[in-house]
Amino acid sequence: MKNIIDHLNKAFDNRTRLGIMSVLLVTDWADFKALRESLGVSDGNLASHLKTLEKETYIEVRKTFIGKKPNTAYKVTPLGKKAFNDHLNALEELLKNRG
C-alpha cells in the first residue's frame, strides 16, 4: 500500500503558504499589503514564504509603481494552481482514509 502522505506537497506544509495560495486562488492579483493584512503576518514572515512559493514557480511577481510608491503584487501560476489543487486532493484523500 502506498503511503498516503507522499502526495502532500511540502511547499504547502506551512499555514502562511496555505493562506497565500488560498487568497491568490480567488483573486487575480494581490499586493503585499493586502496579503499581509489578510493573513495577519509580519512583513518578514510573509516575504520569506512568498520567496519560497516564487522559487517553486507557484506564484508570479509583478513590481510596479503607483504614483511614486513601489507596489509588489502576486498571482498564482498555472503550475501553482495545479500543485495546490493536487495538495488539496491529497488532503481530502487522507481524511477519507483515516481510521
Domain count, the chain: 1
At residue 6, the pLDDT reads: 83
Q: Is 1 exposed, middle or buried (0-12, 13-18, 19+ CB in 10 A)?
A: exposed
Residue 51 counted as domain residue: yes
Residue 21 counted as domain residue: yes
Measured N-to-C along each axis, helices 78-96 and 15-25 cross at an angle, to the nearest 10 degrees, of: 120
Residue 52 counted as domain residue: yes
Range of the domain at 70: 8-92
Residue 98 counted as domain residue: no
Residue 33 C-alpha cell reads as 499589503
Residue 29 counted as domain residue: yes
Residue 26 counted as domain residue: yes
Residue 50 counted as domain residue: yes
pTM of the model: 0.90
- For the domain that residue 51 is a member of, what is the CATH number? 1.10.10.10
pLDDT tens for each residue of 28-69? 999 999 999 999 999 999 999 999 999 999 999 999 999 999
Residue 99 counted as domain residue: no
Residue bearing cell 499555514: 15
